[in-house]
Structure 1
Amino acid sequence: MKKPQKAILTEPLSSELTRLGERIRRFRLARHLVQHEAAIRAGIARSTASRIESGDPSVAIGQVLRYIDAIAPGKSFDQLYRDDDPAEALLQHSERRVRARSLSEGRKKELDF
């Protein structure tokens, strides 16, 4: 009888798969790709792409590697975890909170109409 993959995994391995899926999702978002487009490029179903990004252990490693290659051609699996990706740096920059500051008197006069 076939057992569900999630039931067989230990908690650390399950957490690692979840982190991997999140990393792949951020990799895709940093390149402004929607999940459906990335899945088509990889030759997989959108539901499979969703399972990859959610850390589903039943997805074949070949599908994961094709999905990564579709998102960023030429990038290797270990480059996924490096922090030197320029697209990821731009995504992090855009996600940073920007504090609201009050306008200077000169800027207030400039905007007053």
Structure 2
Amino acid sequence: MKPLAKNALPPKVRKSLKKLGEDLRTARLRRNITVAQLAERAGVSPGTILRLENGDPGVGMGTLTLTLWLLGLNDRMMQLADETKDGIGLALEAEQRRKRARKIVFKAQ
């Protein structure tokens, strides 16, 4: 599969990735960890960490998740698509829920 070009992403998605990268950089600096140290701990190149911090959409989810874990932020990753906080999905599910029960006929064996 061909990698997704950065320019093919909607502006809001690009903005979200940029903000995520900036937040990761801030978290790393607050912990006084260099790019090289974080890369070594994550088992990736320093360039990959820089790409992540620059909001590159080509960096894998595994690398992102591991980086969050190394920075002590993994709990946030677990909340990203939490089904209990999916307002749209919950509303759609409620809308499609049956209003009445069907009569079930039991057959004698």
Per-residue deviation, residues 60-110 of structure 1 (Å, max 9, x unmatched)? 1111111122233xx32527xxxxxxxxxxxxxxxxxxxxxxxxxxxxxxx
Residue 100 of structure 2 is matched in structure 1 by none
1:61 aligns with 2:58: no
Q: Is the 8 A contact 2:18 2:55 kept in 1?
A: yes
Task: Give unmatched runs, 5+ long, in structure 1.
Answer: 80-113
- The alpha-carbon deviation at position 54 of structure 1 amounts to 0.3
- The alpha-carbon deviation at position 4 of structure 1 amounts to 4.4
- The alpha-carbon deviation at position 2 of structure 1 amounts to 3.0
The structure whose Rg is larger is 2
Q: Is the 8 A contact 1:42 1:69 kept in 2?
A: no
Q: Is the 8 A contact 1:33 1:71 kept in 2?
A: no
* Alpha carbons of structure 1 residues 76 and 22: separation in structure 2 relative to 1, 3 Å: same
Residue 39 of structure 1 is matched in structure 2 by 39
CA–CA separation in structure 2 for the residues paired with 1:61 and 1:42:
13
Q: Is the 8 A contact 1:39 1:49 kept in 2?
A: yes
Task: Give unmatched runs, 5+ long, in structure 2.
Answer: 78-109
- Residue 74 of structure 2 aligns with an amino acid whose one-letter code is S
Residue 16 of structure 1 is matched in structure 2 by 16
User: How many residues in Structure 1 have an aligned counterpart in Structure 2?
Assistant: 77
Per-residue deviation, residues 28-80 of structure 1 (Å, max 9, x unmatched)? 011000111011001111100000000000111111111122233xx32527x
TM-score, normalization: structure 1?
A: 0.62
- The alpha-carbon deviation at position 7 of structure 1 amounts to 2.1
Q: CA RMSD in A?
A: 1.8
Residue 76 of structure 1 is matched in structure 2 by 74
Q: Percent identity among equivalent residues?
A: 31
Residue 108 of structure 1 is matched in structure 2 by none
